[in-house]
């Protein structure tokens, strides 16, 4: 990466992080009584104001507000990518692909629910301007084969075809599909983090790979724990549904985890891995909460100390996505009249 562009990108990430929600903002949002109140506060007191400029806060719906907040994140990605054309296009495309994968999985999950038509309510129409995926064809999908056809002119078609082509009315293996799509995204991000034009860097496991390895491990640990707890799965069954190869745990550490006879022993063995101290800092309310908090702490620490612009970008965008998840928890909790203390327990990193 050009050094000047890298310095500018690094500075921009830190400038954006400086505008994150404060602990006071979270307290004010948790005190809101309606989705409209949340929208009004964000519009009046936070950097989300521009993204919410066109909404009418007293009548805003939950889905509408969440889509506008997601659009704000896309705008941030676009702003970061202007700083370096070669890196920027790659990173921008990668985050678009992350959004595309989310849309495909969301659509497949809704196919097997009583609320299949809800996909139309969550369809981010602005996203179509950035994406090669035909989101409107996805929205009309009634079967897994329809979803496959909607992806025909994308890279996802070849990935999804083995899982969706012959399922007919059966529910597809969503876990296997998510694993395959995650592997695709991991391969795509490698294209972003190898120095362009530097032959000596080609194929090297550079610093961003180590950063991304923590996220890969957290996803695999969460799936493995669920399989162990709810299905009493053995090591081979878990290996078929997880992928630790992109993470930072070595083969011996992975084998130790997967051979654990119970979920409690799984957690005891996890505490003997390099992640042990990280998990000891958090109460295990549920596994996804614990892995999210470990991943957040890693992103926050990395963002604070790294001088690498590419790693800084990855860490910042993970922190920005975490803030968006926090807002989603607040909006949904208020929408369904959950006590503020219960909502607060779901928030990650609100005091850091």
Highest mean pLDDT among 24-33, 102-111, 145-154, 195-204: 24-33
Q: Is 352 part of any domain?
A: no
Give the tens place of pLDDT for each residue, 82-124: 765 545 556 667 778 888 888 898 888 878 665 555 555 455 6
The radius of gyration of the chain from alpha carbons, rounded to an integer in Å, stands at: 21
CA distance 344 to 23: 11
CB-side exposure of 115: number of CA atoms within 13 Å? 7
- Residue 193 is encoded by which pair of tokens? 């983090």
Q: Is 87 part of any domain?
A: yes
pLDDT, residue 204, reads: 40
Pick from 214, 221, 215: which is nearest to 263 by CA?
A: 221
Give the tens place of pLDDT for each residue, 174-183: 888 988 998 8
Contacts for 87 with CB less than 8 Å, ≥ 6 apart: 1, 5, 9, 81, 192, 196, 310
CA distance 319 to 298: 10
Beta carbons of 343 and 329 less than 8 angstroms apart: yes
Percent of the chain topping pLDDT 70: 85
pLDDT, residue 205, reads: 38
CB atoms within 10 A of CB 296: 20
Give the tens place of pLDDT for each residue, 116-154: 555 554 556 666 777 788 888 888 888 899 999 999 999
Structural domain that includes position 46 = 3-346
- The confidence band for 196, taking pLDDT boundaries of 50, 70 and 90, is very low
Helices 35-45 & 23-30, crossing angle to 10 degrees?
A: 150
CA 273: distance to chain centroid? 24
CA distance 244 to 70: 29
Q: Is 315 part of any domain?
A: yes
Beta carbons of 40 and 57 less than 8 angstroms apart: yes
Counting the structural domains of the chain, the total is 1
Beta carbons of 156 and 137 less than 8 angstroms apart: no
pTM tops 0.75: yes
Exposure b/e, 317-346, CB count within 10 A at least 16 = b: bbbbbbbbbbbbbbbebbeeeeeeeebbeb
CA distance 277 to 254: 17
- How far apart are the two ends of the chain, measured CA to CA in Å? 30
Mean pLDDT of 294-314: 92
Helix (H, G, I), strand (E, B) or coil at 198: coil
Mean pLDDT of 169-188: 83
Does the pLDDT of residue 284 top 90, yes or no? no
Q: Is 267 part of any domain?
A: yes
pLDDT, residue 167, reads: 76
Beta carbons of 218 and 291 less than 8 angstroms apart: yes
Helix (H, G, I), strand (E, B) or coil at 53: coil
Contacts for 136 with CB less than 8 Å, ≥ 6 apart: 123, 128
Q: Is 351 part of any domain?
A: no
Q: Is 234 part of any domain?
A: yes
Check the CA dihedral 262-266-267-268 and report its sign. Answer: positive
pLDDT, residue 190, reads: 65
Mean pLDDT of 322-346: 96
Does the pLDDT of residue 27 top 90, yes or no? yes
Highest mean pLDDT among 27-36, 138-147, 207-216: 27-36
Pick from 331, 321, 319: which is nearest to 18 by CA?
A: 319
């Amino acid at each position: 990466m050009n050094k000047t562009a890298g310095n500018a990108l690094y500075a921009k990430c830190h400038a954006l992080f400086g505008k994150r929600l404060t602990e006071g903002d979270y307290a004010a949002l948790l005190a809101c009584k309606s989705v409209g109140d949340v929208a009004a506060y964000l519009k009046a007191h936070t950097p989300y104001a521009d993204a919410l400029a066109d909404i009418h806060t007293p009548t805003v719906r939950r889905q509408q507000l969440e889509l506008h907040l997601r659009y704000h994140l896309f705008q941030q990605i676009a702003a970061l990518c202007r700083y370096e054309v070669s890196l920027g296009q790659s990173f921008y495309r990668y985050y678009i692909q992350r959004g595309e994968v989310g849309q495909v999985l969301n659509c497949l999950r809704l196919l097997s629910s009583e609320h299949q038509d809800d996909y139309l309510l969550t369809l981010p129409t602005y996203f179509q301007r950035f994406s090669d995926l035909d989101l409107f064809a996805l929205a009309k999908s009634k079967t897994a084969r329809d979803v496959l056809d909607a992806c025909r002119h994308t890279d996802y078609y070849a990935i999804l075809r083995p899982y969706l082509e012959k399922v007919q009315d059966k529910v597809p293996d969503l876990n296997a599909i998510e694993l395959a799509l995650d592997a695709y995204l991991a391969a795509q991000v490698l294209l972003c983090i190898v120095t362009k034009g530097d032959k000596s860097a080609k194929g090297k496991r550079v610093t961003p790979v180590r950063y991304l390895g923590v996220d890969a491990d957290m996803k695999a640990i969460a799936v493995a724990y669920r399989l162990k707890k709810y299905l009493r799965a053995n090591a081979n069954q878990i290996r078929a549904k997880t992928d630790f190869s992109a993470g930072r745990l070595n083969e011996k550490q992975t084998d130790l985890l997967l051979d654990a006879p119970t979920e409690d022993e799984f957690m005891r063995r996890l505490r003997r891995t390099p992640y042990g101290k990280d998990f000891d800092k958090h109460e295990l309310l549920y596994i996804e909460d614990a892995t999210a908090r470990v991943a957040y702490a890693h992103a926050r620490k990395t963002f604070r100390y790294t001088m690498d612009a590419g790693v800084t970008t990855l860490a910042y965008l993970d922190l920005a996505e975490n803030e968006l998840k926090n807002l989603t928890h607040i909006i949904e909790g208020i929408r369904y009249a959950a006590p503020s203390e219960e909502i607060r327990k779901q928030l990650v990193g609100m005091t850091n």
